[in-house]
Chain A
């Protein structure tokens, strides 16, 4: 029996039973832009960066199960244009000032903006008021950069068994909260050893007193565009040791 496959931008890509379009693409070293997806966690399907066209319908690659013979459009002007708009939405929704961010060069949001040639934020900035939480002895939370991907939520709940993070609010007022009556990270049982401390794709969860250990220009996505690093992105599932520049 031949292995089932999808046609990804015209190229046959095999998949195993239960795999999504994203799983199949990653295994074949093909890049589908994504932010909320992480091979180690339950698919979430909220950022919509991975939107592809499967059998003529727009779907999220990270949640859509692959079906034999399915024709999937991924790297097309239409889809990349939509993804660029989604990135612009994420940029204006928060407060992102890359030059002063410790995550610059290791940030997936920034890397995707380069990859998809986003030249400006395009929309008017929302400038939300999101105070920083510096209460914890080891870790700083800069909510200004949160893209609400829920990776820390999933990691803390499903791996650490702590549920340190949750989402509250609705719509544009949705925001990340910490599991403490005071709302402060210092009053939760969070620790730097938690998985949740190392999954943020952007610069929210940062180690204190550790700045710019790797100089800007030499960081992960400075060296090579994110679209060329599929193998590394896929390997995140192997539970490999986390590199000290933070996981993304």
Chain B
């Protein structure tokens, strides 16, 4: 072994099977990088060169893709890579202290690799375990329900270099925590039942049921699913330049990156057949032969069970050639695993990632329904949307339209976390009031609820009578509750940092703006903010809303805007004055020089400490 932790001489030998497994297909680059990192430990420069050569891609393109995703490492990340989930709900459960404790125990500085190359400890965006946090990932595997005791033990296991397989299985347990069941969660749905029902109806009739159902997308935008399916069904597909035949595609969006959301995790863990049935129903309706499921990297622990499930479906004739014995009805499903990039939940960035590229949202039009995966007509739907489509195949559109409200039919899965007695999954018919939900989950002293994650809306107490529905408070599912003892400024600051970390960097307003607002929030947190910073935040909010390329940038300042409107005192009590205060501190800048020269004139101090006693910059 070389110092870098891999055997450079054996690099080609290590990489060849990975490249071959993917048929040397450049479109599989993200999957290849992921697996290459699995065998090599990280992605050294020589590995990128070798992969580029094997795939016939420019090296810089391969490096560009590797450099985009958080879970790819171009330098050795330590043999144990520990990433604490940094959602506000993890923080409220004490993740910050636990992180410090682990760093102390292992003698490692946060964000740095220990000198012996054994371990690194850092944070990562929400890992989707808010109902059983604080959580972390160790070498990509999810750990839940951290406590001081667990963290101590983890430190010992790492020091002893115990393989993950020897760690207590209990640490890796992920519970479903289903707390309220309605139509979807209250029944067992045998594999293939929905698909058979759809076959019996036929594609055109299935589409008619979808229209009747008025199902709207559960991934956030709330677009009417039948319109999407119909457009893709009618769209022209064309043979590709490389000889691939004309095709349509169904993509299941299982990226679930919105902080505070974890309902897709539960559907994939315990209702996977319903998800695959939904994909099959969509395929039958639009005339697709290939489905792709994009699974966020954080949920890689679900992969073996999902693959096994697909194998089972193949054996029982639900997948592959002549599905359910219907000649000419072929359908396959592939699973792609993401590598840590929230923006890849945006459907066109997701398609780019599926094609092995940097996850940059595309220019629209054209929309995926006409030019999606590999330029072909593609339906992208959320996991929950596809489950609902399966139910519609089984029970019909009219039945579905009878649930919920007129404009928001059916039920919605909420992922509830934060200051509640029983966090977990709650299924409600659309139209339920926020108050009702708060009562059911045991939120005794809520002052605010962040609905639909940081991109969504922050509701204050006087709004709790509003209802969860597209026509009132729309949601992709996150429902984070904040008790009266919580500091809403810190909530917003956490979200500002989330967006800075997750901006893809493509467009100027979001790339620079998310950094500027995060800096503003840090300045206010230090007690150095003024009315000037508040005005900055408003100004940047307006710009991002107007000029950002995709929904990430457009929504990035929403939580700040909401909390500034509704929880102004949380900001104002931190402001040091109502005038401008520079971030630059003269005394701090001169401190090193003063120390070196030994010359220090107390009368020449003009920095913050001199002017604002009690403030430590």
**B interface, over-half SS:** helix
B363: Cβ under 8 A from any A Cβ: yes
Across the interface, which residues of B come within 8 angstroms of A63, CB to CB? 363
Most interface-central of A43, A48, A165 (chain B CB within 10 A): A48
Q: B514 on the interface (CB 8 Å rule)?
A: yes
Are A167 and B547 in contact, with the CB atoms below 8 A? no
A101 at the interface (CB under 8 A from B): no
Contacting residues, chain B, for A168 (C-beta < 8 A): 60, 63-64, 66-68
For A47, give the chain B residue with the smallest CB separation: B508
Q: Closest A-chain residue to B358, C-beta based?
A: A167
Contact of A171 among B501, B516, B519, B546 (CB under 8 A): B501
Q: Which residues of A contact B569 (CB under 8 A)?
A: none
Q: A82-B547, A163-B60 are in contact. Are A48 and B583 (CB under 8 A)?
A: no
Are B363 and A169 in contact, CB atoms less than 8 angstroms apart? no
What residues on B are CB-neighbors of A164 within 8 Å?
Answer: 60
A170-B49 contact in complex given A89-B512, A90-B512, A177-B64, C-beta closer than 8 Å: no
B508 near A179 (CB under 8 angstroms)? no
Chain B residue nearest to A62 (CB atoms) is B363
CA distance A58 to B59 in the complex (A): 37
Known: A163-B61, A177-B64, A179-B59. A172 touches B508 (CB 8 A): no
Q: For B49, B363, B500, B502, which residue has the most chain A Cβ atoms within 10 angstroms?
A: B363
A177-B63 in contact given A86-B543, A90-B512 (Cβ < 8 Å):
yes
- Please state if A165 and B60 are interface contacts (CB–CB under 8 Å): yes
User: Which residues of B lie under 8 Å from residue A86 when comparing CB positions?
Assistant: 508-509, 543, 547
**Residue B324 interfacial (CB < 8 Å):** no
Instruction: Give Cα A63–Cα B512 distance, bound, in whole angstroms.
Output: 21
Tell whether B171 is near chain A: CB-to-CB under 8 Å.
no
Task: Annotate A31-70 by CB proximity to B: 1 below 8 A, 0 otherwise.
Answer: 0000000000001011111010000001010010100000
With A and B bound together, what is the CA distance between A173 and B358 in angstroms? 14
In the complex, chain B residues whose CB is within 8 Å of the CB of A90: 508, 512
**Given A86-B547, A169-B68, A172-B515, also A46-B60 (CB < 8 A):** no
Indicate if A181 sits at the interface (CB-CB under 8 A): yes
Asked whether A51 and B546 contact (CB < 8 A) given A124-B519, A172-B514, the answer is yes
- Using Cβ atoms and an 8 Å threshold, which residues of chain A touch B61? 163, 166
Q: In the complex, which of the residues A43, A58, A123, A171 contacts B547, with contact meaning CB atoms closer than 8 Å?
A: A58
Between A148, A169, A171, A178, the greatest number of chain B beta carbons within 10 A of the residue's beta carbon is seen for: A171
A165 to B70 alpha-carbon distance, docked (Å): 22
A44 to chain B minimum Cβ distance, whole angstroms, is 8
CA distance A43 to B509 in the complex (A): 18
Instruction: Please report the C-alpha to C-alpha distance between residue A92 and residue B539 in the assembled complex, in whole angstroms.
Output: 17
Q: Which residues of A contact B583 (CB under 8 A)?
A: 124
Distance from B597 Cβ to chain A, minimum over Cβ atoms (Å): 24
**A93 contacts B by Cβ under 8 Å:** yes
CB neighbours (8 Å) of B515 from chain A are: 126, 171-172
* A46-B508 CB under 8 A given contacts A82-B546, A123-B516, A124-B583: yes
Q: Which residues of A lie under 8 Å from residue B66 when comparing CB positions?
A: 168
B214: interface (CB < 8 Å): no
Q: Is B341 an interface residue (CB 8 A)?
A: yes
**B549 near A46 (CB under 8 angstroms)?**
yes
Is B513 engaged at the interface, CB distance under 8 Å to the other chain? yes
Q: Which residue of A lies closest to B501 (CB)?
A: A171
Q: A180 contacts which chain B residues (CB < 8 A)?
A: 59-60
Verify B508–A48 contact, CB threshold 8 A: yes
Known: A65-B365, A170-B503. A48 touches B549 (CB 8 A): yes
Give A85's nearest chain B residue, CB to CB: B543
**Are B512 and A48 neighbours in the complex by a CB distance under 8 Å?**
no
- A166's partner among B49, B58, B500 (CB-CB below 8 A) is B58
Separation in Å of the A207 CB from the closest CB of chain B? 22
A174 is an interface residue with CB less than 8 A from chain B: yes
Which residues of A are found within 8 Å of B63, using beta-carbon distances? 166, 168, 177
B504 within 8 A of A: yes
Asked if B516 contacts A89 (CB within 8 A), the reply is yes
Contact: A171 with B500, CB < 8 Å? yes
Query: How far, in whole Å, are A173 and B70 apart by their CA atoms in the complex?
Result: 12
Interface size class of A (residues with CB under 8 A): 35 or more
B162 at the interface (CB under 8 A from A): no
Mark B476-516 against chain A: 1 for CB-CB distance below 8 A, else 0: 00000000000000000000000011111111110111111
Q: How far is the CA of A177 from the CA of B549 in the complex (A)?
A: 23
Residue of B nearest to A88 (CB): B512
Give the complex CA separation of A63 and B59 in angstroms.
29
- Cα–Cα distance between A171 and B548 once the two chains are bound (Å): 13
Minimum distance in angstroms from A127 CB to a CB of chain B: 11
Q: For the complex, give the distance between the alpha carbons of A8 and B79 in Å.
A: 59
A48 touches B516 (CB 8 A): no
Residue from the list A92, A169, A179 in contact with B505, Cβ < 8 A: A169
**Contact status B60-A166, CB under 8 Å:** yes
Interfacial residues of chain A within 58-103, with CB under 8 A of chain B in the complex: 58, 60, 63, 65, 82, 85-86, 89-90, 92-93
B68 touches A170 (CB 8 A): yes
CB nearest to B340 among chain A residues: A170
B578 beta carbon closer than 8 Å to chain A: no
- CB contacts (< 8 Å) of A167 on chain B: these are 64, 358
Neighbouring A residues of B246 by C-beta, 8 Å: none
- B70 nearest in chain A by CB position: A170
Give the distance in Å from the alpha carbon of A126 to the alpha carbon of B583 in the complex: 12
Q: Does B45 contact A (CB under 8 A)?
A: yes
Contacts of A51 in B (CB 8 A): 546-547
The interface centre, meaning the residue of A163, A168, A173 with most chain B CB atoms within 10 A of its CB, is A168
- State in angstroms the CA–CA spacing of A165 and B519 once bound together: 31
**B610 close to chain A: CB less than 8 A:** no
Give residues 129-174 of A contacting B (CB, 8 Å): 148, 157, 163-174
Q: How far is the CA of A124 from the CA of B363 in the complex (A)?
A: 31
Residues 276-319 of chain B, each 1 if its beta carbon lies under 8 Å from chain A, else 0: 00000000000000000000000000000000000000000000
The residue that B511 contacts in the complex, of A45, A124, A165, A174, with Cβ under 8 A, is A174
B74 to chain A, nearest CB (A): 9
Docked CA distance A164–B60 (Å): 7
Which residues between 349 and 379 of chain B lie within 8 Å of chain A, taking CB atoms?
358, 363, 365
Given A48-B509, A93-B512, A123-B536, 13 more A-B residue pairs with CB atoms under 8 Å apart are A46-B549, A48-B508, A48-B549, A86-B543, A90-B512, A124-B584, A148-B511, A163-B58, A166-B58, A168-B63, A171-B511, A173-B505, A178-B60
30 intermolecular pairs with C-beta atoms under 8 Å apart:
A45-B363, A46-B508, A48-B509, A49-B508, A51-B546, A85-B540, A90-B508, A124-B583, A148-B511, A163-B58, A163-B61, A167-B358, A168-B60, A168-B64, A168-B66, A168-B67, A168-B68, A169-B68, A169-B505, A170-B67, A170-B358, A170-B505, A171-B501, A171-B503, A172-B505, A172-B512, A177-B63, A181-B45, A181-B46, A181-B59
- The interface of chain B, by Cβ under 8 A from chain A, is 45-46, 48-49, 58-61, 63-64, 66-70, 341, 358, 363, 365, 500-509, 511-516, 519, 536, 539-540, 543, 546-549, 583-584
